[in-house]
Amino acid sequence: MSNGSTSAGSPAPSRNGSAPHAAPRAPEEGAPLAPAPVAGHRVAALVPALDCARTIADVVRGAAQHCEHVLVVDDGSTDATARLAQAAGAEVIRHEANRGKGAALRSGLVRLLAEGFTHAFSVDGDGQHLSSEMQGMIDASRSAPDALVLGARRIAPEQEVAPIKRFGNDFANWWVSLAAGRDFRDTQTGFRIYPIAAILNLGVQAERYEFESEVLILAARRGIGIETRGVAVFYPPPAERISHYDPWLDTCRIIVTVVSFLVRLRT
């Protein structure tokens, strides 16, 4: 792909094939700088994005205030997401066709591990996650560096959430908690800090939204610590929201993932 981004034709770009970072950008006057990395704890922001041209630049700039590097995985967008992300200062890799959020996360985790990062802070490209909540999550990760840190969404009373989406989240929470053997407040949050090597070693197979559920189940069952921190989120009016989550189809995929896991436990 032109504009300096690179294609990710497979979910595991090689170390030698990694593209150089985008040229460093001088910070805007008065803009806060990302904190210096702590030895042994290098956090990069990982932004899976599909058709997020309207929001991606602000997401990148916000994440860059808290992370030393921002990687955007453009999962087959048909708009200017990749170009705008790179212009905002992100490294960009691209799936030429849409492969799903899980595939985008896996591509990003592999790339960041090859670049020497220990942790990936996943942030959705649609702008719902607030950069002001990132430092608290990073502090929690530094306190428990081997743990997966989840940002459980606190939805304000005035924020409108479609009943079908709320039902889908609650239903998925019940199933995933059952399979994981512990209760979770928000299994579908995309605001997470992954200890990269440990998560890749889980061997998660899912390619779409169920990737995040499978990560939780396997991490809980294999003894990886899981920390949860409540976070505020931004939900614009329904007409302005960007969402590729299908409350019926994607919830069904999550249930199939959970049921398959439960069947394997009993055989």
C-alpha span between 245 and 260 (Å, rounded) = 21
Residue 175, pLDDT score: 84
Q: Would you write out the chain's pLDDT as a tens digit for each of its 267 residues?
A: 334 466 664 433 333 333 333 433 434 444 455 555 566 899 999 999 999 999 999 999 999 999 999 999 999 999 999 999 999 999 999 999 999 999 999 999 999 999 999 999 999 999 999 999 999 999 999 999 999 999 998 866 555 566 656 766 777 888 889 888 899 989 989 999 999 999 999 999 989 888 999 999 999 999 999 999 999 998 666 555 566 666 667 677 777 777 777 767 654
Residue 167: predicted pLDDT: 67
Q: Which CATH superfamily is domain 6-265 in?
A: Spore Coat Polysaccharide Biosynthesis Protein SpsA; Chain A (3.90.550.10)
Res 17: pLDDT: 35
Per domain, the residue ranges of the chain are 6-265
pLDDT of 208: 86
0.85 cut: is pTM over it? no
**Interacting residues of 39 by C-beta distance below 8 A, sequence separation 6+:** none
Q: What is the largest CA-CA distance in the chain?
A: 61
Helix (H) or strand (E) holding 95: strand 91-95
Sequence-separated (6 or more) residues with CB below 8 Å from residue 213 = 172, 176, 187, 188, 206, 254, 257, 258
Distances (CA, A) of 127 to 40, 80, 89, 115, 237: 29, 16, 17, 26, 13
DSSP letter (8 states) at residue 239: G
CA dist 224 and 182 (Å) reads 13
The answer to whether the beta carbons of residues 57 and 87 sit under 8 Å apart is yes
Taking CA atoms, 143 is separated from 8, 37, 240, in Å, by 33, 14, 37
| Cα–Cα distance list, 205 to 18, 106, 168, 213 (Å) | 23, 10, 22, 11
Ramachandran class of 89: left when φ > 0, alpha when ψ lies in -120 to 50, beta otherwise: left
Smallest Cα–Cα separation from 115: which of 191, 22, 34, 211? Answer: 22
d(CA 61, CA 211): 26
The length of the chain is 267
CA neighbor of 78 nearest in space, from 95, 55, 101:
95
At residue 228, the 3 state secondary structure works out as strand
